[in-house]
Amino acid sequence: MSEYEIIIKLVLAALLGGFIGLERESLSRPAGLRTYTLVCVGSALAMVVSLDMYYQYYQTVNADPGRIAAQVVSGIGFLGAGTIMREGATVRGLTTAAGLWVVACIGLAVGAGLYLPAIVTTAVILF
């Protein structure tokens, strides 16, 4: 994977995560532009690193490029859990937690080169 392709992936992830973050920020939600952008770019980078490591060592080591991606999904669960608050009979933050999880998945898709599914998912989330 060339350095230009990696840069394109990271920039696209920042844009897609940023669009969703802007929408959430416009509604005055706890997580906004920066949080969603960071989660999406971080997920994309994790997938790029995972794939790059696989392509470097697949001939000498039995490697699985999905392992790092799986840990991103688990880790985002902890981040999302921190956004969920219970106030009496009301539970707040579930949509934020779900949004962070799906943005992480969008970042993984971008990192894996699945640009169209990532863009379509972003559009579905926004509309």
Question: Would you call 98 helix, strand, or coil by DSSP?
Answer: helix
Give the residue among 23, 5, 2 at the shortest CA–CA distance from 123.
23
Looking at the DSSP bridge assignments, the partners of residue 85 are 92
How much is the pLDDT for 61? 79
Query: How buried is 15 (Cβ within 10 angstroms: 0-12 exposed, 13-18 middle, 19+ buried)?
Result: middle
CB 11 within 8 A of CB 24: no
The H or E element spanning position 87 is strand 85-87
pLDDT 10s digits, 29-85:
778 899 999 999 999 999 999 999 888 887 787 878 788 888 898 888 888 877 787
